[in-house]
Structure 1
Amino acid sequence: MDRQTISRLAHAHHPIAAPIADESVARLLSRATAHTEAGRALDLGCGEGGWLVRALAARPSWRAVGVDLDAAALTRARETATALGLERRLGLHHLDAREFKAVEPFDLVLNVGATHAFGGLLPALAAAREHLAPGGAVLVGEGFWEREPDRAALEGLGVARDEYADLATTTDRVIADGWTPVYGYVSSPQEWDDYEFCWTGSLAAWALDHPDHPDAAAAREAADRHRAEWLHGYRGTFGFVTYLLRRSR
């Protein structure tokens, strides 16, 4: 079973692919879109379009564009937008986000939980900068170390110690890169637990509901492995912060 299919099944009950509850997403989007009544949003790695669909539903005068490599996820995004009557305000592109070229700049650029597509936080911000209109904002979500990671945490995440920093250092790096945080949100332990139990539970439930499917065993194995990596590895060590940023230079 390929990684995109696993992710799609795992996010069946938590379409926002990050440890952020719906009410927190709504608050972040409210702040991120408040600076203009009729704006344009771009999500570089939109997946099933959870952020964009919510933004368009809350802001009837906004339009949005989503870019992602997962064709099936984009189909789901289109279906959701159509069901909500938002399809005319949403454009979707099956494309590597690094290759996307816009004709016009955007008032809001999003990359939440997908900075890996660009090789990390600062490269993702560099890409966002290229698409940002003057006075616009970036909503970016990234991991950080809540505490010094031990070997189990690093192995569970499959990362090296220096791939992430603590919250203060991460914020300092963003500021040094020419950005000003005008808001930020750190996901709570409850949001993390809900996200991880949804991720592993949805995937495991699919395997149980489709016992004769050729990928059922692989899905169950992926769910069991991920649950163990989280509970015995990075739980309480790895955090997630979502910044609302504006350019300071």
Structure 2
Amino acid sequence: MNREEISRIAHADHPIKSPLDDASVRQLLDRGLPRGDERVLDLGCGGGEWLLRALATRPHLHAEGVDISEDALGQARQAAGDLGVQDRLVLHHQPAADFASAEPFDLVISVGAAHAFGGLLPTLAAARKHLAPGGRVLIGDGFWERTPSQEAIEMLGDFADLATTVDRVAEDGWIPVHGHVSTRQELDAYEWACWGSLASWALDHPADPDSSHALATAATHRSEWLHVYRDTWGFLSLVLRQAPGHA
């Protein structure tokens, strides 16, 4: 069982692949899409859940998504067809960092995909290339709520604390117009959902040759969360606009 298949099963009950509940997702989209007829781009869209939710509630919106996973894009196409929004969604199978478009976008989304660009600021630099004048960026990434252990840093990455993270974004020429720090409930619900879904799949498919591997993977990730980073790692989502002179 490869990493992509593990991710698909783990997120079966939490299709937003970040520690955000449905109400937070709705509010972030509302702040990022004030008109409802915007052109939207998701860099690292996976199964397209952000775009699908935006399209389903905004009949005049058009969206594009970019991802390296052909399977995830196939899921997005199927879901778009089921929702009847396929005519307003374009999907691109390529690395998000390599994507180019002749038309700018009113909202660029990249939530939980900063690893594809090498970090938060490189992700914002990529978003800026695609942004229409007056447009917005919806970005989500991790931060350290408390001083982490070296093991946590090696496992998740070298994040900054919340204040430093926001300061760096502002110094890069962005103005936060909305923000959300994931709650303890959102963070815990995400981890329980992921590793519970994977464990449930393994228990429901005992004859599958990947069952034991899936069960062991769920146990490993659950233990890492509880013992290594649960009390130190947080998640920040921001809606940003460009500061004057930085467009």
Q: How does 1:94-109 map to 2 (within 5 A)?
A: 94-109=93-108
Q: CA deviation at 1:88?
A: 0.6
Q: How does 1:226-237 map to 2 (within 5 A)?
A: 226-237=221-232
CA contact (8 A) 1:67 1:95 kept: yes
Indicate the residue corresponding to 2:25 in structure 1: 25
Matched, 1:10 2:5: no
Secondary structure of the structure 2 residue equivalent to 1:48: coil
CA contact (8 A) 1:42 1:108 kept: yes
Indicate the residue corresponding to 1:89 in structure 2: 88
Secondary structure of the structure 2 residue equivalent to 1:204: helix
CA contact (8 A) 1:152 1:232 kept: no
Q: CA deviation at 1:143?
A: 0.2
Q: CA deviation at 1:236?
A: 2.1
Secondary structure of the structure 2 residue equivalent to 1:60: coil
Secondary structure of the structure 2 residue equivalent to 1:217: helix
Indicate the residue corresponding to 2:135 in structure 1: 136
Secondary structure of the structure 1 residue equivalent to 2:31: helix
Residues 119, 82 of structure 1: alpha-carbon distance in 2 compared, 3 angstrom cutoff: same
Q: How does 1:57-76 map to 2 (within 5 A)?
A: 57-76=56-75
Q: Provide, for residues 102-122 of structure 1, a one-character-per-residue CA deviation record: whole Å limited to 9, x for no partner.
A: 120000000000000000000
Indicate the residue corresponding to 1:47 in structure 2: 46
Q: Provide, for residues 14-46 of structure 1, a one-character-per-residue CA deviation record: whole Å limited to 9, x for no partner.
A: 000000001110011011000x34210000011
Q: Provide, for residues 156-202 of structure 1, a one-character-per-residue CA deviation record: whole Å limited to 9, x for no partner.
A: xx145xx2000000000000111000110000000011100000011
Give, in whole Å, the separation in 1 of the partners of 2:15 and 2:85. 17
Q: CA deviation at 1:81?
A: 1.0
Q: CA deviation at 1:47?
A: 0.7
Q: CA deviation at 1:92?
A: 0.9
Indicate the residue corresponding to 2:116 in structure 1: 117
Q: Provide, for residues 181-232 of structure 1, a one-character-per-residue CA deviation record: whole Å limited to 9, x for no partner.
A: 0110000000011100000011111111111222112111111100000011
CA contact (8 A) 1:154 1:233 kept: no
Matched, 1:198 2:197: no
One-letter amino acid of the structure 2 residue matched with residue 17 of structure 1? K
Give, in whole Å, the separation in 1 of the partners of 2:69 and 2:8. 9
Secondary structure of the structure 1 residue equivalent to 2:63: strand
Give, in whole Å, the separation in 2 of the partners of 1:151 and 1:110. 30
One-letter amino acid of the structure 2 residue matched with residue 8 of structure 1? R
One-letter amino acid of the structure 2 residue matched with residue 130 of structure 1? K
RMSD: 1.1
CA contact (8 A) 1:18 1:113 kept: yes
Give, in whole Å, the separation in 2 of the partners of 1:196 and 1:37. 32
One-letter amino acid of the structure 2 residue matched with residue 21 of structure 1? D
Matched, 1:243 2:238: yes
One-letter amino acid of the structure 2 residue matched with residue 66 of structure 1? G
Indicate the residue corresponding to 1:221 in structure 2: 216
Give, in whole Å, the separation in 1 of the partners of 2:31 and 2:128. 19
Give, in whole Å, the separation in 1 of the partners of 2:197 and 2:71. 17
Secondary structure of the structure 1 residue equivalent to 2:143: strand
Regions of 4+ moved over 6 Å: none
One-letter amino acid of the structure 2 residue matched with residue 28 of structure 1? L
One-letter amino acid of the structure 2 residue matched with residue 82 of structure 1? G
Give, in whole Å, the separation in 1 of the partners of 2:57 and 2:42. 16
Of 190-199 and 207-216, deviating more is 207-216
5+ long unaligned stretches in structure 1: none
Q: CA deviation at 1:237?
A: 0.8
